[in-house]
Amino acid sequence: MNIQAEYKSKLKSAEEAVKLVESGESWFVGPATATPAHTMNALCDRYEELENVGFCGTNIGAPIPFLVDPKFKGHIEYCTYFTRPPLERPMANKGMIEYASVCFSKTKYFLREVRNVTGMITGASEMDEEGFMWFGPQGASVNGMVSEMCNKIIIQVNKNMPKIPGDFPKIHISQVDAVVEMDYDIIEFPESEITEKEQAMANHILPHIRDNSTIQVGIGGLANAVSYGLEKKKNLVVYTEMLTPSMKYLDDVGALDPNKQITVGFVLGEHDLNDWAANSGRVFLQQNYITGQVAAIAAHDNFVSINACLLVDLTGQVASEGVGSKTLAGMGGSSTFVRGAALSDGGQSFICLPSTTEIDGKVTSNIVFGFPTATPVTVNRSDVMNIVTEYGVANIYTKSIKERAKALISIAHPDFREELTAQAKKAYFI
């Protein structure tokens, strides 16, 4: 059977395709740009026929009904390993979905051994002349690995999905059980604006970054402030979780090594960035569980890891996932990138946070004596190198508790330093 005949034999309506889903099974849904709302909605329409169907994934890109309606409990339920707004974060804190604290480097084990995933529903490109459908900007970060553990795969093909090269960016029609044809708009992720505090933090970090460094930066205004600030550096290498417009800018101005590919887990930007990633020959999508391995990170000399967090205590523990019992993000790859940077020859890591947060009109310090009850520790204090606020950089790597507390108090907001000092003295930290 040729590929066109095979494709036609597997072409189904969404309603027909989702009949492959049976009670008691565990399925994966493609992330963000790979979330096929049309097919998932068809599945939700038959929820009363199903019992104990578990879906998992991250950063769902469409308002699938089982995220928000309690009637799906016991029929179709969802677990995420990274909560992002506008959908997963609020629903996780309302008990509508589960959250699993899983580092990106461990997603293969989590999905195969813990969730026992055997099916996948995802968006992908139209089939090319060789019979492949491409997973696109976010789908390529995980879908290839998931496809290897599945015995049922449903693809919703979308002519708008860009074909970005990588280590496992596509799937062949022979591996697919059902194809649904339904185009949808590719979600865009506009750049975050850079705040005054974020720019101040970036200004503290930039002098520490040398030419020929390999860089990893997280998401948001801080990452943009750092990346754009690197424009005069030479022969930088990008090895990071996500490609942002600032990385393209660094390539455009000649700050990146032209002989090294830009290795990222996924693309996070607007259509022009997706097009550049697909056509420039510079970008290589590597699955996140591979990119985030400590040994792979440490293999790069002068590795620089830059990430944001929510809270830091006076001993150097870092909270990035949530505060108290409230989930605000996920583990992502921050802990492994911090550890990998510490093992890199000449490596450095910087974990950044504004010194204060205002909640309900009250200003609170983000450098604290101790975390609120139930706050998860995302990065172990033994791995942390540098903590950064708008007031400076505290190098606490392998320092004593006394040295850590003094350094962290020095970069806390001035209004809270006296209180933190008193708390530290009472605990005999200093």
All residues at 6 or more sequence positions from 371 whose CB lies less than 8 Å from its CB, including other chains: 311, 313, 317, 319, 323, 377
The answer to whether 131 and 43 are in contact (CB under 8 A) is no
Q: What is the DSSP-derived secondary structure letter of residue 112?
A: I
Q: One of 241, 270, 321, 418 is an active-site residue; which one?
A: 241
User: Other CB atoms closer than 10 Å to residue 1's CB: what's the count?
Assistant: 10
The count of C-alpha atoms lying within 13 angstroms of the C-alpha of 288, restricted to the half-sphere facing its C-beta, is 31
- Asked if 241 is an active-site residue, the reply is yes
Plot region of 136 (φ>0 → left; ψ -120 to 50 → alpha; else → beta) = left
Structure tokens at 410: 């020095």
Task: Using the structure block, give the residue that is written with the tokens 């089982």.
Answer: 66
Cα separation, 41 vs 59, whole angstroms: 17
Helices (H) and strands (E) in the chain, counts: 16, 24
Q: Choose among 159, 154, 135, 175: nearest CA to 11.
A: 154
- Tell me the pairing of strands 283-285 and 262-267: parallel
At 238, which helix (H) or strand (E)? strand 237-243
Q: Choose among 297, 293, 295, 274: nearest CA to 285.
A: 274
Structure tokens at 300: 């790069």
First to last CA, the chain: 75
Q: Active-site positions?
A: 241
